Amino acid sequence: MAIQVDLILRPSTLEVLEWNHDNYWTDQEQTLFNQPLQNKHWPHLSNLSIGYPLHDGDLACIMKSAGSDLGGMTKLRLVGCKFGTQTHKALELHLSNIVSLDLSWCLALTSPVTRDLLCCCPNLEVLLARSVYAEDIAEGGPWLCQQIRRLVICIRFEDLKPDLHQLVFERLSTLDQLEHLDLDITYNDDDNDDCVLLFRLDWGMEQLATLQQLKSFSFDTDTVDRYTPQLGMDEVVWMMEHWKKLKRVNGPFNRDPRIAAQIRSAFESHGITTC
C-alpha cells in the first residue's frame, strides 16, 4: 500500500485517477497522509474515482488538491468512502464544475448534503445518490441542476403529505432535460418507517408534463411490497400521452398482480419495454 500511495501522491499531469480496493466496506478507516498535500497538487485532475475506505480528512485532502484556477473536477465517483463534513466542504470547491457525480455507495451521505448538491451544481448532468427527504427539499432553494440528464435517487417522506408531494413534483418539473429518472428505492432496516414519492396524478404528478426528453423511468426491482408504487391505468395513459420519447419502464407497478399485468401490457402495446 505504501508504494501505491507514493505513486498516487507524485505531482504530475494526472488527469484521471481511479483508486480501488478489494474490500470497500471495511470498518477500519484508513489514514494515509501524514502531511497535507500541496494546494493544486494535481492541477489537471478532472476525473476522480475512489473505491477505498479513506478517512474523511484524507478524502478531503485529495479533493482540495485537484484542479486549478482554470478548471476543477468534472467527474467524481466515491464507493465506500467515509463522506463527512471535511469532504463536503472540499467538494464545494468543485460544485460549479461538476458534470457527473456518483455517490450512490456513500452510506454516510446525508439528506441535507444531497439536497445541497441539487441546489448548487449548475453544470450537473448525472447524479447518482442514495436518498433525499422531501422535508429537506422544502427547506432548500431552487434546484440549479437544470442540465441534468440522468437522476438516480430515492425521495423519501417522514409522512405522506400532499403539499410536500406537490413541491417535490414542482422541483422535478424544472429538470426539462432529464432523459433517465430512476427512483432506486433501496430498503434498509433503519428507515422502514419512511414513505416514498407517490407517482399519482391526484398527488401532483401532472406537473411532470415538462419532462419531454424522458426516455426511461424506473423503480428499484428489489423493493418490499410496502414500497411498490401503486400505479393505476390513469397514470399509465398519462405517461404515454405526455412522455412521447419514453422507451423503457422498469420495476414493480402495483401490488395487485392483475393490475401490474395490465400496466405491462399497455406499455408494451405502445412499444415501451418493461422489465
Tally of structural domains, the chain: 1
Tell how strand 126-133 and strand 180-182 pair up.
Answer: unpaired
Question: In 3-state terms, what secondary structure has residue 181?
Answer: strand
> Is 249 part of any domain?
no
Cα separation values, 8 from 77, 101, 116, 157, 238, Å: 17, 22, 30, 42, 52
Q: Are 197 and 160 in contact (CB under 8 A)?
A: no
Amino acid identity, residue 89?
Answer: K
Q: Comparing C-alpha atoms, which of 164, 136, 121, 151 is closest to residue 213? A: 151
> Is 183 part of any domain?
yes
Q: Identify the H or E element spanning 211.
A: none
Strands (E), 55-145: 75-79, 100-105, 126-133
Give the single-character DSSP code of 40.
T
Instruction: Print pLDDT tens along the chain (275 aa).
Output: 444 555 566 656 778 888 876 654 444 555 555 555 555 677 888 899 988 888 888 888 888 888 765 567 899 999 888 888 999 999 998 999 999 999 988 878 899 999 999 999 999 999 999 889 999 999 989 999 999 999 999 898 888 888 999 999 999 999 999 999 998 766 554 555 678 888 899 999 999 999 999 999 998 655 555 566 778 999 999 999 999 999 999 888 888 889 999 999 999 999 999 98
C-alpha cell at 265: 401490457
Q: What is the CATH number of the domain that holds 214?
A: 3.80.10.10
Q: Is the pTM of this model over 0.85?
A: yes
> Is 248 part of any domain?
no
DSSP string, 100-111: EEEEEE-TT--H
Q: Comparing C-alpha atoms, which of 86, 66, 84 is closest to residue 76? A: 66
What domain range is 193 assigned to?
Answer: 2-230
Residue 177's φ and ψ, nearest 5 degrees, are: -95, 0
Cα separation values, 164 from 3, 68, 123, 139, 204, Å: 52, 40, 26, 11, 10
Amino acid identity, residue 132?
Answer: V
